[in-house]
Structure 1
Amino acid sequence: MTALISGLSDLADRYDVILSDVWGVIHNGRESFPAACGALAKWGEEKPVVLISNSPRPSHSVIPQLDELGVQRAAWQAFVTSGDATRVLLSELAPGPAWRVGPERDAPLYEGLGLDYADYDKAAFISVTGPYDDEVEGPGDYQDRFEACAARGLVMTCANPDIVVQRGDRLIYCGGALAQLYAQLGGKVLMAGKPYAPIYDLCLVEAQRLLGRPVDRARVLCIGDGLPTDVKGANDQGLDVLFVASGIHGAETIGPDGLNARAVEELLAADGLTATYAIADLVW
């Protein structure tokens, strides 16, 4: 059974390092969550916090966004993104050419990789970070082109495995939704972000650097709000996980009386997942 906790302080003696999700846990794309940031900052006074994000951009290019949203630097000691892990995949496919799908803000993903680019009918592979315009587009807008690419046997790399994220009070489609459609059409998809192993490998390297000693995986706590990414990733890696229920699954798990423990269990069971702990919002 998932244990409900009142705050992160309940676990302070149990773990040496935190791998914390970003979007949905410490901000919603429009504003930061002060209580969550404060909880991680409190943890960081004694033990390290590694942020683990499915952002398709390299971590160095996402830090300014965290600053603008008011996520205090004290809330984390290292930052690893899906973009960091995906650059390894892209370097192996260079020079392409790639059909590059995603907004211009994700351009830092490709810097220095020596990739060439082409439209879908002339590309050697597809590189997806998300829809070109996630305010209005969804997977269906790409179906015809994806069908043509799948028929040609093109591989797709997806730098953001998230299906949706919360932006303010809305859910918007991410790269994972496009990758999901491509796989359904018979295309091959490569991903390195959550829930896949490469991003966790990078995070544990950072954790070891910060601790100054080998990491005891039994004393690593993952925190996240996404079932197919954060929770599944932790489960697949054999790591404990704190499920933050108020994120993208808040409508299903938070009722008038707060966190609904039964709803959490049913939600997890439906996907064959487990969470060590659950909390409504991340607080100290």
Structure 2
Amino acid sequence: MSHDSCCRGTDDCNASAGVLHDGVEPFERAIECVRELKRRKKSIYVLSNSSRGRDGTIRKLAAMGYDAEAFAGAMTSGHVAEAFLTSTLETVPEKACFLKLREILDAIAGEGRRARVAHATWSMRGNVQLGEAFGEAYQVVSIERPEDVDACDFVLAHGVEAFGRGDGEKELSVSDETMRLMIERAAEKKKPLVVANPDVVTVSGDELVMMPGTLATYYRDSFKYAHHGESGDEYVCLMGKPDGIVYDALLGEIGRTTAVDSRRVLAVGDSLSHDIAGANDADIDALFVCDTGIHAQEMRHARARSDDAVDALFDAHGAHPALVISRLEW
């Protein structure tokens, strides 16, 4: 496939952050690719499953050597989570989990009180600060033991290393096992889980690091066991890829602020279950970057066997890319 054939018919690229850097260092060839796309007047939006707000997304890329002016904008799952919870999100899908959470929050508001939140966050990676608008509507409760979860109305997961404190003190770091027990308790008590970063793992240099999407897996497994086979999906709100809520947010913003035709958008990503499957569900053509992300080893093994093995890998993740390249480069 030539570079021109990839770009022809495309006005806008929405790129996963994982095809631009490994969490620590940028991909040098991707820097040149972004530069060339800018020269060809392609609009590039970063669509990231970061649990943080979107304001610092492009600044972070610029610090890595990318041209900040090459990016038309950014959307993060963290931004979408905050917008949903503060009722500033333009479009919310008619989906059971969002309807259930909104029903619970409306009932609490009817009681004349703030909803009580258990806030799973980061410690080593930096605590996620909740905004002023969030603080006006919600009360963070201190969580030290699994049974403390009973006092909250829902769990908000920005990270997996700690729980925020309701008294303004430093977050309380917890072990992976304690975090799992907290989430399992929430599932047993049918406390909804709002996941601000649905990634299960992320690449950080040469390592794979657990992300909040893993908590959704813990929750569903425990919910099914505790509630006699119920799936628990109604109580798990994923605020990023692959859920359509983040695509609706980005495409809606593009439609309101630009003349880009949403039918001429290409999604570029390295996660089959999130970037590619999410784009498929949003009816967006998807370009899978296979050698620099979380599936690099799986893809090497599959390609060494046969094309059928590659197709089987795609099927296993419910993902069907329109295009596949080794890395983002020109």
Q: TM-score range by the shorter chain?
A: 0.7 to 0.9
CA shift, 1:272, in A, is 3.1
Greater C-alpha radius of gyration: 2
1:238 to 263, 279, 283: 283
State the AA in 1 paired with 2:160. P
Q: Which residue of 2 aligns with 1:112?
A: 133
Q: Deviations over 1:199-247 (max 9, x none)?
A: 111211333356x326242x11000010111011011011100000011
2:154 to 117, 125, 133: 125
Match of 2:238 among 184, 191, 198: 191
The Cα of 1:198 is off from its aligned counterpart by 1.6
Matched, 1:76 2:76: no
Q: What residue in structure 2 maps to residue 176 of structure 1?
A: 213
Residue 31 of structure 1 corresponds to which residue in structure 2? 25
Distance 1:67-1:106 versus aligned 2 partners, 3 A rule = farther
Query: 1: distance between equivalents of 2:260 and 2:325?
Result: 29
Under a length normalisation based on structure 2, what TM-score does the superposition of the two structures give?
0.75
Give runs of ≥4 in structure 1 deviating > 6 Å. Answer: 257-260
Extract unaligned runs of 5+ from structure 2. Answer: 88-104, 144-148, 163-172, 224-231
1:12-51 aligned at under 5 Å gives the runs 12-22=7-17, 24-45=18-39, 46-51=41-46
Query: Alignment length, in residue pairs?
Result: 274
**1:111/1:160 Cα in 2 relative to 1: closer, same or farther (>3 Å)?**
farther
- Kept in 1: contact 2:12–2:260 (CA 8 A): no
Match of 2:298 in 1: 252
Any idea what SS the aligned residue of 1:275 has? Answer: coil
Q: Considering Cα pairs closer than 8 Å and 6+ residues apart, tell me whether 1 or 2 has the greater RCO.
A: 1
Contact 1:56 1:83 (C-alpha < 8 Å) held by counterparts: yes
Q: Partner letter of residue 107 of structure 1?
A: V
Match of 2:121 in 1: 102
Normalised to the residue count of structure 1, the TM-score between the two structures is 0.86
| C-alpha distance 13-137 of structure 1, shift in aligned 2 (>3 A) | farther
- Is residue 146–residue 182 contact of structure 1 (8 Å, CA) maintained in 2? yes
Whether the aligned pair in 1 keeps the contact of 2:290 and 2:299 (CA below 8 Å) is: yes
Alignment partners' CA distance in 2, 1:25 and 1:231: 13
CA contact (8 A) 2:45 2:74 kept: yes
Pair 27,59 (structure 1): closer, same or farther in 2 beyond 3 Å: same
Q: Which blocks of at least 5 consecutive residues in structure 1 are unaligned?
A: none
Does residue 89 of structure 1 match 2:108?
A: no
* Distance across 2 between alignment mates of 1:137 and 1:162: 20
Alignment RMSD (CA, Å): 2.7
Structure 1 residue corresponding to 2:314, chosen from 268, 272, 276: 268
Q: Distance in 2 between matches of 1:106 and 1:66?
A: 20
Cα distance in 2 for partners of 1:137, 1:173 equals 14
Amino acid at match of 2:236: V
Mapped contact 2:200–2:212 kept (Cα < 8 A) = yes
Distance in 2 separating the partners of 1:252 and 1:101: 31
Task: Determine if contact 2:15/2:46 at 8 Å carries over to the other structure.
Answer: yes
Query: What code does the residue aligned with 2:157 have?
Result: V
**Residues 243 and 139 of structure 1: is their aligned pair in 2 closer, same or farther, counting only changes over 3 Å?**
farther
2:272 to 227, 241, 251: 227
Q: CA deviation at 1:131?
A: 0.8
Q: CA 1:60–1:48 in 2, change beyond 3 Å: closer, same or farther?
A: same
| C-alpha contact 2:161 2:176 (8 A) present in aligned 1 | no
Specify which of 243, 249, 252 is matched with residue 205 of structure 1.
252
User: Partners in 2 of 1:137 and 1:75 — Cα distance?
Assistant: 40
Give how far 1:122 is off: 1.8
Residue 281 (1) aligns with residue 310 (2)? no
> How far apart are residue 277 of structure 1 and its match?
0.3
Structure 1: distance between partners of 2:259 and 2:54: 24
Query: C-alpha displacement at 1:263, in angstroms?
Result: 4.5
Give me the identity figure in percent: 30
